C-alpha cells in the first residue's frame, strides 16, 4: 500500500531530514534574494510571445479560412498560444510566482486564465489541496481526479474497468475536468439542498464557462464572417491540442514509476523539511530542452516546482542542479525521464489498475504504481539511503525470478 512513514521509507533519520530541509531553505532564500530584472524581462517576453501567437493565429484563420494549410497552421499556433497561456503564464501567475513585481496585471489575485474553470476555485483545489497534501490518498483529489484508479489503495470497483476510456475522455476535455473538480453542478439547480457556498461556486463556474464558450465558439467564429465554420473547427482543435498536452504534462508529474503515494495521518504536524521530502518523493520530472520546458510551463521540473511553487518558473532549471546534488548526497532517487517514457508509464498504470488486484502479479507494497516502506522488510541491514535500498530490492527481485525458473 502507500507510504505511511516517509522517513522510514526514505531511510533517513529525523536529523537528516531536518538537515535536508535547511539546505532546501537555503536554495529558496538564495532565489528569493536574487529575483530581479532578468525575471521581470522573462515573464513579460513570454506574455508578448503568447499574445502575438494568438493574434497571428486568429488573423490567419480570418484571412485564409478556406485554405487548408492556413487552417492547419492557424489551429496549431492557436493551440500553442493556449498552452503558453495556461501553462507557463496562467498556472505560474496563479501560484504567485510574479506577485513580488507588484504588477496588477500579472498578479495571482487578478489573473483570470483562458480556461472554463474559475481561477479562484483552481487556486483552492490546486495551490492548497494538491500542493499541501500532494499524493496523500483521500486528501489530494489530483490522485485520480475522482474518476481514475491510479493506486491500489483505492479498492477496485467494476467502474474502474473503464479506466482507459475514462482517461481518454478526461484527456480530450481536460479543461472541463479541471474546472469541475471543485464544483457540483447540481448545486446550481433551483431548490438545491447544497450549501450556499457550493451553490455560489456552481453558479460562478457556469458564468465563467459560459463566457469561455461564448468567446471561443460564438464570438470569434462570428467575427470570421464567411470563414466562421473554419474558425470554429480550428478553435475546437486548438482546445483539444491544449487539453491533450496539459493532461500529458500533468500526468507525467505524479503517475510515472517512482512518484510515490502516501497515507499520512498526522500531516498537520508535518515539519517543513518533512513536507519537502514528501514533495521530492511524490513528484517526477521530464527530461527535455528549453522548448519542452517552456511548453510544459516548466513543469518538466515538477520536483522543483512542488518544493518551490512560488519561485519564478524560469529559475527551476538552475535549481534542479542543486536538487540533484542534494539527492546524490542524501542517497535519494531523482525521478526523471523522457516524455514518452513518463507518459507511457502513466497510461500503463491506468490500464493495469483497471483490473482487480487478483490479476496483478506484484504485491501492493512493491509495485511500480504503489510502494511502501514494507517493501524493504526482506532486505538485510545495510548502510545507505533510499536509492541504495531500491537498487538492492530490485536485485533481490531479479535473483528470485531467476531461481523460480
pLDDT at residue 404, rounded to an integer:
67
For residues 389 and 47, the model is more confident at 47
pLDDT-derived band at 185 (thresholds 50, 70, 90) equals confident
pLDDT at residue 402, rounded to an integer:
76
Question: What is the pTM (predicted TM-score) of this model?
Answer: 0.94
* C-alpha to C-alpha distance for 122 and 209, rounded to whole angstroms: 13
The closest of 340, 317, 330 to 280, measured between CA atoms, is 330
pLDDT at residue 116, rounded to an integer:
95
Average pLDDT on 205-209 reads 94
For residues 194 and 254, the model is more confident at 254
The closest of 145, 169, 148 to 349, measured between CA atoms, is 148
pLDDT at residue 399, rounded to an integer:
76
Average pLDDT on 358-384 reads 85
Report residue 365: phi and psi, to 5°: -105, -5
For residue range 115-160, what is the model confidence (pLDDT) as tens digits? 999 999 999 999 999 999 999 998 999 999 989 999 999 999 999 9
pLDDT at residue 379, rounded to an integer:
82
User: In what helix (H) or strand (E) does residue 285 lie, and over which residues does it extend?
Assistant: strand 285-287
Compute CA distances 97 → 37, 385, 397, whole Å.
Answer: 14, 33, 44
For residue 57 the three cell numbers come to 493565429
Residues 6+ apart with CB under 8 A from 205: 116, 117, 118, 121, 179, 180, 183, 185, 188
The rounded mean pLDDT for the chain is 93
For residue range 380-404, what is the model confidence (pLDDT) as tens digits? 777 789 999 899 888 877 777 677 6
pLDDT at residue 186, rounded to an integer:
80
pLDDT at residue 405, rounded to an integer:
64
| Spans of all domains in the chain | 6-329
Q: How far apart are the first and last CA of the chain?
A: 28
Of 193-197, 209-213, 249-253, 333-337, the range with the lowest mean pLDDT is 193-197
Amino acid at each position: 500500500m502507500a507510504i505511511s512513514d516517509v522517513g522510514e521509507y526514505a531511510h533517513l533519520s529525523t536529523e537528516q531530514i531536518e538537515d535536508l530541509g535547511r539546505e532546501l531553505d537555503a536554495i529558496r532564500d538564495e532565489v528569493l534574494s536574487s529575483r530581479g530584472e532578468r525575471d521581470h524581462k522573462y515573464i513579460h517576453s513570454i506574455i508578448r510571445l503568447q499574445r502575438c501567437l494568438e493574434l497571428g493565429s486568429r488573423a490567419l484563420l480570418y484571412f485564409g479560412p478556406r485554405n487548408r494549410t492556413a487552417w492547419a497552421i492557424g489551429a496549431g499556433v492557436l493551440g500553442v498560444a493556449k498552452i503558453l497561456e495556461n501553462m507557463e503564464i496562467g498556472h505560474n501567475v496563479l501560484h504567485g510566482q510574479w506577485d513580488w513585481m507588484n504588477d496588477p496585471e500579472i498578479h495571482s489575485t487578478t489573473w483570470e486564465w483562458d480556461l472554463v474553470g474559475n481561477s479562484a476555485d483552481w487556486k483552492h483545489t490546486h495551490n492548497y489541496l494538491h500542493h499541501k497534501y500532494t499524493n496523500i490518498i483521500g486528501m489530494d483529489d489530483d490522485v485520480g481526479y475522482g474518476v481514475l484508479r491510479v493506486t491500489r489503495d483505492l479498492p477496485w470497483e467494476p467502474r474502474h474497468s473503464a479506466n482507459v476510456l475514462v482517461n481518454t475522455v478526461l484527456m480530450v476535455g481536460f479543461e472541463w475536468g479541471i474546472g469541475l473538480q471543485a464544483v457540483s453542478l447540481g448545486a446550481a439547480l433551483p431548490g438545491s439542498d447544497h450549501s450556499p457556498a457550493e451553490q455560489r461556486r456552481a453558479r460562478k463556474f457556469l458564468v465563467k464557462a459560459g463566457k469561455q464558450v461564448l468567446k471561443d465558439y460564438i464570438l470569434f467564429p462570428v467575427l470570421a464572417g464567411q470563414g466562421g465554420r473554419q474558425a470554429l473547427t480550428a478553435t475546437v482543435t486548438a482546445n483539444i491540442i491544449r487539453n491533450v498536452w496539459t493532461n500529458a504534462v500533468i500526468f507525467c508529474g505524479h503517475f510515472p514509476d517512482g512518484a510515490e503515494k502516501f497515507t499520512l495521518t498526522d500531516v498537520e504536524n508535518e515539519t517543513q523539511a518533512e513536507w519537502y521530502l514528501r514533495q521530492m518523493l511524490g513528484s517526477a520530472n521530464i527530461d527535455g530542452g528549453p522548448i519542452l520546458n517552456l511548453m510544459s510551463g516548466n513543469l518538466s521540473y515538477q520536483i522543483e516546482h512542488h518544493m518551490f511553487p512560488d519561485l519564478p518558473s524560469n529559475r527551476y532549471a538552475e535549481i534542479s542542479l542543486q536538487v540533484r546534488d542534494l539527492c546524490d548526497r542524501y542517497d535519494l532517487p531523482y525521478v526523471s525521464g523522457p516524455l514518452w517514457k513518463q507518459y507511457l508509464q502513466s497510461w500503463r498504470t491506468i490500464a493495469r489498475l483497471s483490473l482487480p488486484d487478483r490479476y496483478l502479479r506484484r504485491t501492493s507494497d512493491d509495485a511500480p504504481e504503489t510502494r511502501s516502506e514494507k517493501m524493504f522488510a526482506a532486505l538485510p541491514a545495510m548502510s545507505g539511503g533510499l536509492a541504495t535500498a531500491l537498487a538492492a530490492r530490485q536485485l533481490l527481485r531479479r535473483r528470485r525470478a531467476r531461481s523460480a525458473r
